[in-house]
């Protein structure tokens, strides 16, 4: 059989069947919305497929860094106990935002619900600068 379209194989592998839910770049996985009100910035980071335990947010040198890591193992066996399919995924993504060096991790409030990390970052909160990164509690 002669293929007249040289892009056949490229098009074939673009099918959603061959895509992994984690094959996207960090910015696609961690889509972020920032809203502003009178006293704070509200940051919403989409993290579908992650659990609260998979997410860490830390503040160091004025940079808020959000890291999400995920490990997944799937194993299917037939009736005899033979492995017929085994897939593994381990990966992480992160984003950093400069929020100023006048804030501490205690100033930032965070919660995680329905695959979205919600952060409330006050506009003004002069505090002593800390040298070590400390994690922000996610509720």
Reduced 3-state DSSP string for the chain: CCCCCCCHHHHHCCCHHHCCCCCCCHHHHCCEEEEECCCEEEEEEECCCCCHHHEEEEEECCEEEEEEEEEEEEEEECCCCCEEEEEEEEEEEEEEEECCCCCCHHHCEEEEECCEEEEEEECCCCCCCCCCCEECCEC
Instruction: Give domain status of residue 5, yes or no.
Output: no
pLDDT of residue 26: 45
Q: Does residue 72 lie in a domain region? A: yes
One pLDDT digit (tens) per residue for the chain, 139 residues? 444 545 544 554 555 554 555 444 444 578 999 999 999 999 999 998 889 999 999 999 999 999 999 887 777 778 887 877 777 778 889 999 999 888 889 999 999 999 999 999 998 755 455 566 778 888 8
Q: Is residue 131 part of a domain?
A: yes
- Considering the domain boundaries, does residue 108 fall inside one? yes
Q: Is 38 inside any structural domain? A: yes
Total structural domains within the chain = 1
Q: Please state whether the predicted TM-score (pTM) of the whole model is above 0.75.
A: no
Residue 33 domain flag: yes
Kindly state whether residue 49 falls inside one of the protein's structural domains. yes
Residue 17 inside a domain? The answer is no
- Residue 65 maps to which CATH number? 2.60.40.790
* pLDDT at residue 72 in the model: 79
| Host domain of residue 118 | 25-135
What pLDDT was estimated at residue 78? 80
């Amino acid at each position: 059989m002669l293929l007249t379209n040289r892009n056949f194989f490229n098009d074939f592998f673009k099918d959603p069947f061959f895509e992994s839910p984690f094959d996207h770049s960090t910015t696609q996985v961690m889509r972020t919305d920032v809203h502003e009100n009178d006293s704070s910035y509200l940051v919403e980071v989409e993290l579908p497929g992650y659990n609260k335990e998979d997410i860490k947010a830390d503040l160091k040198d004025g940079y808020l860094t959000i890291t999400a890591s995920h490990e997944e193992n799937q194993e299917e066996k037939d009736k005899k106990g033979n492995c017929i399919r085994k897939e593994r995924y381990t990966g992480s993504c992160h984003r950093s935002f400069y929020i100023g060096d006048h804030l501490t991790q205690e100033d930032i409030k965070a919660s995680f619900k329905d695959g979205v990390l919600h952060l409330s970052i006050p506009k003004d909160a002069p505090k002593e600068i800390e040298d070590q990164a400390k994690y922000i509690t996610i509720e």
